[in-house]
Structure 1
Amino acid sequence: MLKKYISIVTIVCMLVCILPSKSYSMDKDNFIKFLINSSYPEVDNDKKDNNQDNDKDPNKNKDANENTEVLKSNKNEKNKNEYIKVHVGEENIPNIASNYSVEQSKSEYKDDIRVTREKPRLLIYHTHGCETYSNSPEGNYHSRDKKNSVMEVGRLLTDQLTNKGWGVIHTTKYHDYPSYNNSYASSLKTIQNIVSQNNSIDIAIDLHRDARDVSDPKIKEIDHKKYTTTINGERVAKFFLVVGGKNENADQIRKLAHDITKFGQKKYPGLVCEVIEKDYAKFNQFVAKNHMLIEVGNNATSIEESKATTKYIAEILDEYFMQNE
């Protein structure tokens, strides 16, 4: 108590003696800085402490304007100001993400991209992201109604694979809007850019929704029954793989498609349709060693039925690659 009393008396005496002389030479900013330095001597170590914090957690290297109180001054440059950060409580520590953070993007999309783990191995993208399902309010089965489209199926498939331990990149960039004819040229640029920045990727999925002529309600009803099945009491959309025969790696992707189809048909009979081969096309399948063009459901099936299929696709792919590597 005695030491504390002496300290208080000393500070009061210093303020009485020093402040009058200082007040003549200090402007408002310098006076405030003086008070802060007197009250918070730990600010002298602010820069050092801040660097140590950033080394531990790079996500704390943030824009101080969001959660901190700042004052400006600089001892060396008269016209330049120095920020003094005074943190009051854990909630006020700067916490703005850097340009890119895997942790932040595990469940969030930034610039139409989500990355669920470091060194992702699998890429999911959509050359025809505007493909929508039967219950889309737009009614034409091709619109930017994302929540009722193949984009939503891709989002859920990303979740399912991530839950099984896969590192996945999912891009929701539109490639068939505004130009449908340039879809594959557009998606090629996207996937080449992603793969070039993530050399850990060796599996790619171009996720689509099959297109049928369902203008006649009776045909739509027939197609719905034909392209859905029941698994564990749940109605789900069927899916199949497509192979472009003009790729240099056509033999590889053809073998992969047929092997996965057989594996899926054995595991869930009636869920996987036969492989469709189109010798005249590439479908950008040369970009990845293991490329799959997967069609989930069609415009006669609903978004709920197609989303329900994703857990089975994830299970099939996960077990297939685990057993064949």
Structure 2
Amino acid sequence: MKRKRTGFIRMGAWIMIGLLAADIILQLSGLGGNVQWDWHEMGKRISYRMFQTAVDQANPAAAYHMRRTHKLIRSEYVPSPEDLEAVAEENSAALLEDMAGENSEAVRAAEAESKTNTAESETGTEYVETLAGVPTGEIYSEKALMDPDFLLEHFYTVDPTTSADSTLINGGDLLEKDMTIDLQGEAPKILIYHTHSQEGYADSEAGNTSDTVVGVGEQLKKVLEEKYHVAVYHDLSVYDMQDGKEDRNMAYSQAAVAVRNILEENPSIEVTIDLHRDGVPDHVHLATEINGKETAQIMFLNGMCRNSEGNENNFAQNPNLSDNLAFSLQLQLKAKAYFPELVRHIYLRAYRYNLHFKPRSLLVEVGAQNNTVAEAKNAMEPLADILYAVLSGK
């Protein structure tokens, strides 16, 4: 029994010596990369490893725990994605600083300009370049447009109070009229006013002028001036209020005096636009989608100065009636070409409606009481587009 135990001890000793020798050989091989060995340093490392090996052999469980812990600790120093990104940014910055002076300044200037352009696009108004493209709407043949019956059926609604026939609704006459004007210069070319300034929309805030047709007119002025650089006079006067209450009885008479004075003081004005809001049954919603926006439909109105039997007696006459009809029809055709759902039929009624001041006089109904303010204002860019197209001849 004693010999058997001694054999185990000797075997264990030889195993320890073998392991120690193998460790020493590994240490020596790890130093083999140096041409000149530091024998003193190598002796210290071998002595330490001999001591560590002896400790490990004496308590293998503790050695396993220490190595496992050491391995886990080392794994914590693997760089995170955030660390790698930070290093990449530092390297990019260092590279930029190392570039040649002029090139470095060019890069910085380009970055600054890009940031400025981005900020401007976020705060500025972006307009759609409508007239630059090919019309995708409805285009009518010359033969159809020369037919008065076709025109009346497809472009007009005749109110029971008045009448219209081929002597007035004549495609050849109306489409031959030149509606172009010189749009250059700082003097106003277009007058926008509101005979019924109190007309609002479904979500209009009481007392907020910008939520009424006046605010819609201001939007039209903005688009014409910013997009097309056409000078506009916007009359903000109120003609449908008497003693603090809405009263339309004298609205057209009062507006007529004011418009006449404005035109005398501003002889450069060649277009007058009376901007209104229509009234329709509650279940009707006059809206379509244009350029990705919900947009109120619009309607041009012409006063015919005659009753349903064609009698002109007892009606104030309009020497510019034929030109008014030509202006609204040419705008209608341009809208059909670019925005076919924007316009309703041109409405013909009996009275004059102050459209006699200029050949290019227009009354426009923008949406109705069921439209929102935003829908009405969204209609002003396409309206400005067709106005500019007809007035510029494009």
Q: How high is the TM-score relative to the length of structure 2?
A: 0.48
What residue in structure 2 maps to residue 244 of structure 1?
303
Any unmatched runs of 5+ in structure 1?
A: 1-116, 139-143
SS of residue in 1 equivalent to 2:340: coil
Alignment of structure 1 residues 103-252 onto 2, 5 Å:
118-138=186-206, 144-163=207-226, 164-178=228-242, 179-214=247-282, 219=283, 223-224=284-285, 227-246=286-305, 247-252=318-323
Percent of aligned positions with the same letter in both sequences?
28
The structure with the largest alpha-carbon Rg is: 2
What residue in structure 2 maps to residue 287 of structure 1?
357
1:317 matched to 2:380? The reply is: no
SS of residue in 2 equivalent to 1:291: strand
C-alpha displacement of 1:146: 1.1
Q: 1:158 is matched by which residue type in structure 2?
A: K
- Confirm or deny: 8 A CA contact 1:130 1:145 kept in the other structure: no
What residue in structure 2 maps to residue 253 of structure 1?
324
C-alpha displacement of 1:211: 1.2
Which whole-Å deviations, capped at 9, do the CAs of 1:236-261 have from their partners, x for residues lacking one? 00101000112221111011111111
1:265 matched to 2:336? The reply is: yes
Q: 1:166 is matched by which residue type in structure 2?
A: V
What residue in structure 2 maps to residue 308 of structure 1?
378
SS of residue in 2 equivalent to 1:282: coil
- Confirm or deny: 8 A CA contact 1:243 1:293 kept in the other structure: yes
Alignment of structure 1 residues 80-91 onto 2, 5 Å:
none
SS of residue in 2 equivalent to 1:285: coil
What residue in structure 1 maps to residue 368 of structure 2?
298
Aligned mates of 1:119, 1:290 — CA distance in 2: 17
What residue in structure 1 maps to residue 347 of structure 2?
276
Q: 2:225 is matched by which residue type in structure 1?
A: T
Aligned length: 194
Aligned mates of 2:238, 2:353 — CA distance in 1: 16
C-alpha displacement of 1:118: 3.1
- Confirm or deny: 8 A CA contact 2:301 2:364 kept in the other structure: yes
What residue in structure 2 maps to residue 63 of structure 1?
none
Aligned mates of 1:309, 1:272 — CA distance in 2: 10
Any unmatched runs of 5+ in structure 2?
A: 1-184, 306-317
Q: Which has the higher contact order (CA 8 A, sep 6+)?
A: 2
Q: 2:215 is matched by which residue type in structure 1?
A: E
C-alpha displacement of 1:125: 0.3
Alignment of structure 1 residues 1-80 onto 2, 5 Å:
none
- Confirm or deny: 8 A CA contact 2:296 2:379 kept in the other structure: yes
Q: How high is the TM-score relative to the length of structure 1?
A: 0.58
Q: 2:221 is matched by which residue type in structure 1?
A: T
